[in-house]
Chains A and B, each alone.
Chain A
Amino acid sequence: MSIAQILPVLAASMGAATPLLLAGLGELVAERSGVINLGVEGMMLIGAIAGFACAVDSGLGAWAGLGAGAVAGAIASLFFAIPALSLSANQSACGLALTIFGVGLSAFIGQNYVSYSLPGMQPWPVPGLASIPWIGPVLFNQAPVVYVALALFAVTWWILARTRVGLVLRAVGESPDSAHAIGYPVLLIRYGAVMFGGAMAGLGGAYLSTVYTPLWVQNMTAGRGWIAIALVVFASWKPGRLLIGAFLFGGVTILQFHAQTLGITVPIQLLAALPYLATVVVLVVISRDKRLVQLNLPASLGKPFLPN
């Protein structure tokens, strides 16, 4: 195994990590506001088909598709947010319903797009930086949307950690009653966080269908939405760790495609199970320290807010 063999694997991992990073970041923001939305898989699928359909029908290409995916994801999140927030319904069940709905809706719309394919998006080497040995080809020769995802990550992190908006959002997730008492519109803020989560999941889904594998396949997210939710736990609700987690999982996903060149001979289906297996292992390792989880868990996560 030489550097020449490993570099393409690392570079591909960046691409595979992007949908997980986007969807995971959106879910992280929603959870920081105290709302757990298990509908990520459904929102990703809706974003994937909306993005693909837009890119095919409008002829405007992948960028239009990405925008459409984000919008569709945000709208889809309302399907969760209205019962879960305004009607205080069980959040886990609402999220699950959104996923079931999203699987159905995307397959329904997607039926007409099965045989289409898109040109995708050429990698754009960052001038100068791309020629750095080793690091350049891995980090700076990616599809432009990968850089956009990293930029979104940086901005979200900064807003969450350093700005007043982030502070209020976190306060709502820790103690909605106090936030309400001071006069912050708890539900409105939670709606915003959930819709941001939906937009990010939709963007992640559209990335899959318009850039990563530019075609539509039923259920093409293949559990990435659920892995993104697990990543938020892995990250213990901290964006920096989410980035690391997304790249680890991107790497695991990519491993199966490069297994042969790396000299691993295991049946393909068992290799494909690796990301899911890794998710279980990671959940176990992280969750076993109950104190650590409790310490970082947003205090009101999953609890509906109904002011008296």
Chain B
Amino acid sequence: MHLLEPRAQSSRKMRWLAPVYAILLTLITGALLFTALHKNPFHALYMFFIAPLTTSYGWSELLVKASPQILIAQGLAVGFRARVYNIGAEGQLIMGAIFGGGVAIMTDGSTSHWILPMMVIAGAVGGALWGALAAWLKTQFNAEETLTTLMLTYIATLLMAYMVNGPWRDPSGQNFPQSIMFSDTATFPILLEGSRVNVSVFITLAVVVVFWVFISKSFLAYQIEVSGQAPAAARYAGFSQKKSIWLGLCLSGLTAGLAGVGEVAGPVGQLNLNISPGYGFSAIIVAWLGRLHPVGMVLAGFLMALIYLGGEAAQVSLQLPSAMTGLFQGMLLIFLLAADAFINNRFRRRKRAARFA
């Protein structure tokens, strides 16, 4: 039963190899799955992971899908470093979309250049508030953030449903639950002609740089990390766990809110019930896979975007449901967690004495 024993020293090599093993295991299991579905596994894996990247449109879509996940993961990583497990980034994304999109709806018709910046700020505030709510419940009432952030996600989803069915429903939208389409003033300019890549990728880029500096240079980031790993030591050094709970949840809410605005003022262009295919959840995998490192998470974000892209391709070219995406994401995370066990442990060596006992 007991497969592992602790290593004398944790393996640095394994820390970076684990994602590679996890990806390989996911591919192998994926191949087996395709075989079981009577698809040629090599052809299927090619269609899933490589064919989408043979066109320039594919690459632009990769960027469109990677950007929000990378953005959210950066914020989540701050919390994860402090062992604050915000798993409700999806809800914070939706609140960001409601706040940011609200600005667009209420200022519709205006051509002011201030509208887009106002939307971005409103979205960041909306997401951060939703995160702050969980932080308040945790610090004030000790309510577990894993559960509260998730419940707040369902509440945010229903709030969105209420808004697009009620006060913000497009009067000429044939009763579909959606808002008006945002005007050009309220959408990010397209960066590459013929694609959906827009200016919001610069927000992601800026956030990555800021967090990289923050994590590698700032004392605050160090304190957050200590408070996660040794709360008692952190308290002794005058840094309370409460601060890192507030910071972790507000910052991850903020980046998720930014991602929400990025979607509604970008590829989606309105408020509706399908603004995110679950970026808030897949960003958790991005954070883990990227080892909570700003650059690692960029790479992981592109991989996760490729899985989304592959899921769409599987639907078209393999006649498989796009839910393949969730399957691959779940497998990847499980294999990663399993491989991570070998950072601090190794396979138990059979003890001679035990055999004769």
Contact = CB atoms under 8 A, between A and B. Distances in A.
Interface string B314-332: 0000001101111111110
B142 A101 contact: no
Main secondary structure of the interface of A (DSSP, over half): helix
Given A267-B162, A269-B162, A97 B334 contact: yes
A38 B146 contact: yes
A99 B88 CA distance: 13
A276 B162 CA distance: 15
A283 B257 CA distance: 25
Interface string A170-201: 00000000000000010110000000000000
Contacts of A273: 154-155, 158-159
Contacts of A284: 137, 141, 143
Contacts, number: 165
Contact of B147 (A82, A89, A233): A233
A96 B87 contact: yes
A237 B152 CA distance: 24
Contact of B150 (A185, A223, A293): A223
B323 A83 contact: no
B180 to A, nearest CB: 19
A206 interface: no
A280 interface: yes
A277 B157 CA distance: 13
B20 interface: no
Contact of A306 (B147, B161, B330, B345): B345
Given A88-B4, A89-B341, A288-B142, A108 B150 contact: no
B328 to A, nearest CB: 8
A16 interface: no
Contacts of B281: 100
B340 interface: yes
B252 to A, nearest CB: 15
B165 A269 contact: yes
Contacts of A185: 1
Contact of A94 (B147, B154, B323, B334): B334
Contacts of A154: none
A40 to B, nearest CB: 11
A107 interface: yes
B1 A104 contact: no
Most interface-central of A188, A222, A223, A284 (chain B CB within 10 A): A284
Contact of B326 (A94, A104, A307, A308): A104
Contact of A105 (B3, B148, B161, B327): B327
Contact of A108 (B324, B333, B334, B338): B324
Given A88-B345, A280-B151, A108 B323 contact: yes
Interface in B1-55: 1-6
B85 interface: yes
B340 A89 contact: yes
Contacts of B333: 93, 96-97, 100-101
A102 B334 CA distance: 12
Contacts of A227: 151
B72 interface: no
A279 interface: yes
Contacts of A279: 147, 151
B351 to A, nearest CB: 12
Contacts of B2: 86, 187, 306-307
Contacts of B323: 104-105, 107-108, 110-111
Interface in A261-299: 267, 269-270, 272-273, 276-277, 279-280, 283-285, 287-288, 290, 293
Nearest to A42: B330
B100 to A, nearest CB: 20
A269 B330 contact: no
B155 A94 contact: no
B155 A100 contact: no
A82 B338 contact: yes
Nearest to A289: B142
Nearest to B3: A86
B251 interface: no
A308 B158 CA distance: 49
A98 interface: yes
A87 B331 CA distance: 16
B290 to A, nearest CB: 14
Contact of A107 (B285, B326, B345): B326
Given A230-B151, A279-B147, A307-B2, A89 B330 contact: no
A111 B314 CA distance: 14
B166 interface: yes
Contact of A270 (B148, B158, B324, B326): B158
Contacts of B320: 108
A290 B159 CA distance: 31
B330 A226 contact: no
B341 A87 contact: yes
15 contacts: A79-B334, A83-B338, A96-B87, A100-B329, A101-B329, A104-B329, A226-B151, A273-B158, A280-B137, A280-B148, A283-B144, A287-B144, A288-B140, A290-B142, A308-B5
Closest 9 CB pairs of A and B: A104-B326, A101-B330, A107-B323, A97-B333, A87-B341, A269-B162, A111-B321, A108-B323, A104-B327
Given A97-B330, A104-B324, A276-B152, 15 more contacts: A38-B146, A87-B3, A87-B4, A94-B334, A96-B284, A97-B334, A100-B281, A101-B326, A105-B327, A107-B326, A269-B165, A283-B141, A284-B137, A284-B141, A287-B143
